[in-house]
Structure 1
């Protein structure tokens, strides 16, 4: 069984204790450290190399969001992040730093476990099935039925989530395929310079976009709605194109 090493960070003693208790009662989580501020957390993360950080956002001196940005900039492996906060307006910022989930205080063990299971699934899919790809890579292998299929990145137009599967769409000359992987796990493997998540159910190839409107993206004959939580990020990309 995969064991995820965890660090808990929260400046509220009761909230920190709750997360520690939830980690300790979850079989696949291991509490390696905890602290009450993001400055100390940065040092602990570098020392302990955890797989997962449960991170409060509103803390003095250095906020959890600022810490997450610092982690994205540092070399080497970056731990998965689940934010814990009493405020509900950080969703877009959380997406920008690739947070896996967002627990709104007060949260139950059921909600905590759901977030932890999401991290576990992504970790196992990443380690067992897929290798990271960079902006310079030209292809990826995906498991389709009982074989691994080589897929050229330049042929992908968009990717659609269908429960436990993704449906990868191509130019008209190639039939769409189904692969057993979550959209989030596949998103982490695709180069962000070429692909963007624009909806909870869609990733699009930026190179294949033929037209845009206020709320939609057009790729060939497909119209894909831009989800509310992704509009600001997508708008930043569009602004660069039209200026």
Structure 2
């Protein structure tokens, strides 16, 4: 299904470039450019008139900036379009996800990256299955590493495990440390992750199956005790399943 797009940017050449990119990826990601605006006031009216699915939104604009506009859209009601920020600066990424943005693109935007963003929005909003879903609060986890800010897509995460005061986030390629709590992640993204243990959430799509194996001490079983474990896609690691969560996991793999 074609996605209806509205562009908001105070620079005409930036709007023109996005329009060209949308046309270039139309076969891969069907879309219809339904409107453009150079400021927040024009965007508010245009969005009401055209009812787009996605707003490609610049941040630094005269008057009301993109962050303020996104926050206002979020207050307008349940039919808020998905917001994808398009900015020349990475510094606003943290603030962007605080106002429910589903992605954050850094200029100059490449066609492949824009296509990835449109596909992610379609998936998260249930467009691929033809059903309407509530929009998740975030599309990324934010990771602080020394002087860097990294955005790890939720869709890349295999599991999250609470360890001491941090949570370890595991992707196919490496581990990251984040400061979010497991309980808040579970509440927010319960359709993406399932709790398999009091200290572990696993991506539902990453579960290949379960098997019996010997596990270490985990607070619910003794060291060396045999118990059920999760088999994950793309990694050899096995994750123990607690007795309390076993019925939930078993129902997923039937």
1:109-142: CA deviation from partner (whole Å, max 9, x where unpaired)? 1111111111122223686467549xxxxxxxxx
Give runs of ≥4 in structure 1 deviating > 6 Å.
175-178
Distance 1:105 1:131 in 2: 29
Alignment partner, residue 10 of structure 1: 9
Tell me if the contact between 2:24 and 2:111 (Cα under 8 Å) persists in the aligned partners: no
**Residue 168 of structure 1, aligned match among 150, 172, 194:** 194
CA distance in 2, matches of 1:92, 1:64: 14
| 1:104-143 map, 5 Å | 104-124=106-126, 128=130, 132=134
CA shift at 1:166, angstroms? 4.1
Stretches of structure 1 that go unaligned for 5 or more consecutive residues are 134-155, 182-219, 221-243
How many corresponding residue pairs?
153
In the other structure, the counterpart of 1:179 is: 204
Alpha-carbon separation, structure 2, partners of 1:86 and 1:13? 15
Q: RMSD value over aligned CA atoms?
A: 3.2
Quote the Cα distance in structure 2 between the aligned partners of 1:41 and 1:18.
18
Greater shift, 50-59 or 75-84, is seen at 75-84
Contact 2:2–2:32 (CA<8 Å) still a contact in 1? yes
Q: Which SS does the other structure have where 2:47 is aligned?
A: helix
In the other structure, the counterpart of 1:34 is 36
Give the 3 Å change call, closer, same or farther, for CA 178–37 of structure 1 in structure 2: closer
Please give the alpha-carbon distance, in whole angstroms, between the structure 1 residues aligned to 2:78 and 2:201: 35
TM-score (norm. length: structure 1): 0.55
Which residue of structure 1 aligns with residue 76 of structure 2?
74
> What do the CA deviations read for 1:157-207 (whole angstroms, capped 9, x no partner)?
5649xxxx94411676xx9886349xxxxxxxxxxxxxxxxxxxxxxxxxx
Q: Once the 2 structures are TM-superposed, how far is the Cα of residue 78 of structure 1 from its aligned partner?
A: 0.4
Map Cα deviations across residues 50-81 of structure 1 (whole Å, 9 max, x no partner).
10000000000111111001001112400001
Equivalence for 2:59: 57
**TM-score scaled by structure 2?**
0.53
Higher fraction of helix = 1
- Which structure has the larger Rg? 2
3-state secondary structure, aligned to 1:89: coil
CA distance in 2, matches of 1:159, 1:75: 24
User: In structure 1, what is the Cα distance between the partners aligned to 2:49 and 2:32?
Assistant: 16
The answer for unaligned runs of 5 or more in structure 2 is 136-181, 207-241, 243-254
